């Protein structure tokens, strides 16, 4: 009998991280993979990345539109409610064998709640991590609702055990976003700069700055300070616009009034390949994306991690933490530029997570008793 695994995706980021794993799982005999797409995937403002999901060849089981325009804390909460309703209806109708989720976003929390109440085991990838801000409690809430955990590191495994999760349900698979990443970003420099629209022969900085939900009112000021720090350094900037969380509208409005250094480019969306190319060929990366913490180390890219969004994440020596303030950020960026590339060592995995995850999804027991969870303490 074919085992049906459904993956819930809400952003360009989570799908890019999971695409190689989903493809490998779909190619595993006896396993069918389908996708529920929601959130930013269906928003034209965010690049309508549902087209990329469909281009992957994976079967899109359902689309659940959400409000991606209001961009407030209240709209995010109501979006979770709408996503919960939509995922519940799909799972109740389709009755897959398991729901696969990644990370810490509200769409994933809605999926975990729906799966538990409909009676479908939930598999959570990237649980057990610390980050601070709203992401951390949401991630841990998903872990408590999930039946299995595919974690990236030993520290994450130990943290879940301390949270009362059964060690027999936790598997260290590594971070799936590292699979094929080095090869994806391996493009000759001249060709790479042309593809991502940066000035030929020049160094550039890759900036990815998302709002911190609890600091949404500070997002515009934080953006201006980051941009001012970048102007003090003076290199061209490839600035990737933020997600749709509360505070993102303020970031965009601030950017509209900012003149970035000559040769800079501001983009709504970069496909996975172009993002990997940019991480590989930039002189440094700055902002608060988890990609700077997890993926950039694969290329040895110097990273300046800004503010609170990733403040508690474990990371390698290629990452320098910096607080707000344009002079502070400029000094940190100059220090990283002066260092240059770091050794390409990544503590988040070995780039072979897809095979491990595909094998687990094909072989782990998936029965209703998995939903009968209790803390181990």
Mind listing the pLDDT tens digit for each residue in 287-299? 999 999 999 999 9
**What is the pTM assigned to this prediction?**
0.95
The SS3 of residue 132 is coil
Quick one: pLDDT band at residue 140, thresholds 50, 70, 90? very high
Q: Are 173 and 188 in a shared domain?
A: no
pLDDT at 325: 85
Q: Is the pLDDT of residue 323 over 90?
A: no
**pLDDT tens digits for range 236-254:** 999 999 999 999 999 999 9
Domain with residue 186: its CATH number is: 3.40.50.2000
Residues 169 and 209 in one domain: no
pLDDT of residue 311 exceeding 90, the answer is no
Mean pLDDT of 169-198: 97
Same domain, 276 and 231: yes
- The answer on 128 and 59 residing in a single domain is yes
* One domain, residues 281 and 367: no
Q: CA–CA separation, 79 vs 60, rounded Å? A: 20
CA distance 103 to 101: 7
DSSP string of 223-288, one letter each residue: HHHHHHHHHHH---EEEEPP-SSTTHHHHHHHHHT--PPTT-EEES---HHHHHHHHHHSSEEEES
234 and 119 housed in the same domain: no
Q: Is residue 45 a part of any domain in this protein?
A: yes
Residue 324 has pLDDT above 80, yes or no: no
Q: Is 183 exposed, middle or buried (0-12, 13-18, 19+ CB in 10 A)?
A: exposed
Q: What is the mean pLDDT of residues 30-34?
A: 98
Region 152-169 average pLDDT: 98
**Per-residue exposure over 29-60, b if at least 16 CB sit within 10 Å of its own CB, e if not:** eebebbbbbbbbbbbeebbebbebbeebebee
CB burial of residue 172 (10 Å; 0-12, 13-18, 19+): middle
Please report the sign of the dihedral spanned by the C-alpha atoms of residue 96, residue 97, residue 100, residue 106: positive
Q: Looking at residue 20, what is its pLDDT?
A: 96
DSSP label of 308: S
Q: Are residues 66 and 196 in the same domain?
A: no
Let me know whether 214 and 168 are in one domain. Answer: no
Mean pLDDT of 141-165: 98
Same domain, 367 and 331: no
Are the C-beta atoms of 4 and 32 separated by less than 8 Å?
yes
Contact 50, 37 (CB under 8 A): yes
* Dihedral pair phi/psi, residue 150, rounded to 5°: -110, 100
Strand-by-strand arrangement of the 237-240 sheet: 265-267, 237-240, 205-208, 284-287, 303-306, 319-322
Instruction: Check whether residue 115 and residue 78 sit in a common domain.
Output: yes
Task: Kindly state the helix (H) or strand (E) to which residue 88 belongs, with its residue range.
Answer: helix 73-94
210 and 324 together in one domain: yes
Q: Is 69 exposed, middle or buried (0-12, 13-18, 19+ CB in 10 A)?
A: exposed
Instruction: Find the domain containing 280 and state its range.
Output: 182-339
Q: How far apart are CA 149 and CA 158, in angstroms?
A: 12
For residue 344, is it within any domain? no
Do 193 and 107 lie in a common domain? Answer: no
pLDDT at 368: 87
Q: Could you read off the pLDDT of 338-370 as tens digits, one per residue?
A: 999 999 989 999 999 999 999 999 999 999 899
Separation CA 218–CA 209 (nearest Å): 13
Q: Are 133 and 213 in contact (CB under 8 A)?
A: yes
pLDDT above 90 for 210: yes
Q: Taking residues 86-98, what's their average pLDDT?
A: 98
Say how many Å lie between the first and final Cα of the chain, rounded: 37
How far apart, in whole angstroms, are the C-alpha atoms of residue 85 and residue 64? Answer: 9
Q: What is the pLDDT of residues 50-87, one digit of tens each?
A: 999 999 999 999 999 999 999 999 999 999 999 999 99
User: Strand locations in 46-115, DSSP E?
Assistant: 59-64, 98-102
330 and 286 Cβ atoms separated by less than 8 Å: no
């Amino acid at each position: 009998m074919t085992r049906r695994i459904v993956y819930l995706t809400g952003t360009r980021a989570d799908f890019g991280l999971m695409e190689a794993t989903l493809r490998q799982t779909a190619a595993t005999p006896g396993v069918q993979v389908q996708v529920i797409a929601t959130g930013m995937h269906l928003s034209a403002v965010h690049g309508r990345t549902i087209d990329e999901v469909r281009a992957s060849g994976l079967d899109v089981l359902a689309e659940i539109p959400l409000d991606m325009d209001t961009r407030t804390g209240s709209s995010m909460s109501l979006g979770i409610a709408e996503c919960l309703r939509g995922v519940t209806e799909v799972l109740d109708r389709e009755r897959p064998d398991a729901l696969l989720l990644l990370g810490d976003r509200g769409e994933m929390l809605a999926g975990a709640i729906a799966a538990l109440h409909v009676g479908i085991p939930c598999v959570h990838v990237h649980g057990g991590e610390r980050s601070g801000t709203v992401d951390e409690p949401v991630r841990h809430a998903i872990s408590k609702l999930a039946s299995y955990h595919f974690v990236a590191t030993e520290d994450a495994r130990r943290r879940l055990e301390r949270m009362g999760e059964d060690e027999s349900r936790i598997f260290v698979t590594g971070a799936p976003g590292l699979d094929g990443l080095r090869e994806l970003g391996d493009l000759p420099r001249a060709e790479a700069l042309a593809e991502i629209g940066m000035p030929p022969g020049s160094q550039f900085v890759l900036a990815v700055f998302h709002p911190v939900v609890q600091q949404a009112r500070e997002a515009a000021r934080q953006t201006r300070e980051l941009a001012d720090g970048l102007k003090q350094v003076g290199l061209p900037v490839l600035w990737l616009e933020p997600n749709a969380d509360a505070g993102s509208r303020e970031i965009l409005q601030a950017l509209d009034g900012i003149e970035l250094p000559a040769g800079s480019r501001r983009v709504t969306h970069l496909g996975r390949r172009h993002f990997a190319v940019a991480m590989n060929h930039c002189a440094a990366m700055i902002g608060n994306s988890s990609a700077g913490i997890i993926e950039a180390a694969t290329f040895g890219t110097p990273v300046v991690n800004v503010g609170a969004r990733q403040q508690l994440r474990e990371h390698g020596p290629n990452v320098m933490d910096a607080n707000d303030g344009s002079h502070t950020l400029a000094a940190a960026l100059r220090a990283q530029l002066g260092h240059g590339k770091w050794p390409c060592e990544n503590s988040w995995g070995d780039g072979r997570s897809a095979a491990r995850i595909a094998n687990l999804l094909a072989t782990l027991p998936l029965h209703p008793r998995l939903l009968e969870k209790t803390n181990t303490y």
